Amino acid sequence: MAKSFKYAQRRFWTNTRGNVSTLFAMSMTVLLTSIGASIDYGRVLHQRSIANGITDAAVIAAVAAAVDADKAEKEGVVEIAKQAGLDAWDANAKATKFDVEGYPEIEVTPGDDPHEWNATVTFNEDYSTHFMSLFGQEMFPIHSFSEASSSFAEVKEFWDVHIAVDISASMGIGATQQAINSMTADPQMMSCSFACHYSNGPGLSDTMAVARSKGYPIRIDVVKSAINQVTTKLEGITSGDNISMVLHGFSTSLSTLVNKTTDLSQVRNYAINLGLTPGSVGNTNFRIAMNTLTPLVGNSGDATTAAKAKKAAIIITDGIHDHNINEINVVTNLGQHYKLGPIAPSFCQSMKDNGVKVGVLYVPYITPPGYGGYTNAYIAQVPTKLQQCASPDMYFEATQSSQIEGMLTTLINKAFGSDSELRLTQ
């Protein structure tokens, strides 16, 4: 009996079949856990890799948008850049099948240098597990961070802007029909609609002074006001030495009223007057004026230095040639002193051949009653001839005084060109 008990006891302790099952079950649990953890961890690594990639794309998009918005002088650079970063995040997350919910935090700040921008993109979210959640590990952190900086250097363009203003007698006409009527009815104006005459008789003889004292708007003053406004705009975009201006006046000849200067206030503060004349003898000679202006303007350069400045010549005129020399452009010849016609486009050609941007702002001539015989034969040709004088797309006609400033602004912008960093606001 005792022997049988000892034998059974020994068999129990030496039987390994149950142990194998138990060990197998334990081993499989560990193995499946390892496999599950490996799968989860692999998925986490894959999502982290995607996060790093789309974070890099977002920060590059943000800083690039900041630089572009700054260069275009847009308002709200930071907001524009952040939105560009989020748009890039969305697009790349969809394309790469990023499986983590949430959005990054995007910061955009100006750098220490002019036109420099910094951007950071930070993403912190948790990614849910599958297998490891069975063992209490429900989330893995997904963290990515990227930063970038970018800037643009302002390219300093050098420009010489020459403005040549017609200061002949006809530019002294009243700027509005009401002014013309009032001036004509005023005895102190010698009953003349042009503030450009003087009299040897008693009383006030300077009709320009009379017109200004009584507040009659005259055309030359409207033109000067437009020049002042545009000069102020140029002052706003110059870096102090890259834009020079020259102011000329022309009638029977051309004279420089303000010499070349980077102090643009000299042009803004200059008072343009007309030459007072007892009659309309020798008002304007376009050939002499343009032949004098051409060498003063010179050759246009590549804008890299002041000595190589690009050149623009803006001509403001009513387009009527009236002189005592029988030039090639004369159409109407009324004796020794009145030889009239439109400008000849050939007078402007040398400037254009020199690379100069030639702009023309035509302020249409108003033919007074009884003066049709002086202008009828050619007045319709004036706009066409002036347009042919101008460089392509640089001819404008201001039929109203209120248009002059806007058109002069547009002319200078046309001269700068679409590829220029310089731009005047309207």
Q: What is the mean pLDDT of residues 35-59?
A: 75
Evaluated on CA atoms 130, 136, 138, 139, the torsion sign reads: negative
What pLDDT sits at residue 10?
A: 54
Separation between Cα atoms, residue 57 and residue 89, nearest integer Å = 7
Separation between Cα atoms, residue 246 and residue 253, nearest integer Å = 16
Tokens of 20: 């194998």
What pLDDT sits at residue 352?
A: 97
CB atoms within 10 A of CB 108: 22
Backbone angles phi, psi at 255, to 5 degrees: -130, 150
Cα–Cα distances in Å, from 287 out to 70, 206, 305, 393? 46, 29, 31, 23
What pLDDT sits at residue 172?
A: 85
Q: Using one digit for the tens of pLDDT, what is the confidence trace for 96-110?
A: 888 788 889 999 999
Q: Using one digit for the tens of pLDDT, what is the confidence trace for 231-278?
A: 999 999 898 899 999 999 998 899 999 999 999 999 999 999 886 666
Q: What is the mean pLDDT of residues 123-144?
A: 69
Percentage of the chain beyond pLDDT 70 is 82
Q: Using one digit for the tens of pLDDT, what is the confidence trace for 368-400?
A: 777 788 888 999 999 999 999 999 999 999 988
Q: Which residues contact 234 (CB under 8 A, 6 or more apart)?
A: 161, 243, 245, 264, 412, 424
CB 368 within 8 A of CB 325: no
Q: What is the mean pLDDT of residues 393-410?
A: 90
Domain boundaries, given as residue ranges, for the chain: 19-151, 159-173+218-416
Question: Is pLDDT above 70 for 29?
Answer: no
What pLDDT sits at residue 289?
A: 95
Q: Which CATH architecture has domain 159-173+218-416?
A: 3-Layer(aba) Sandwich (3.40)
Judged on CB neighbours under 10 Å (0-12, 13-18, 19+), 200 is exposed
Q: What is the mean pLDDT of residues 338-367?
A: 93
What pLDDT sits at residue 12?
A: 46
More confident residue, 351 or 201: 351
Backbone angles phi, psi at 3, to 5 degrees: -65, -40
Global pTM reads 0.66
Q: Which residues contact 31 (CB under 8 A, 6 or more apart)?
A: none
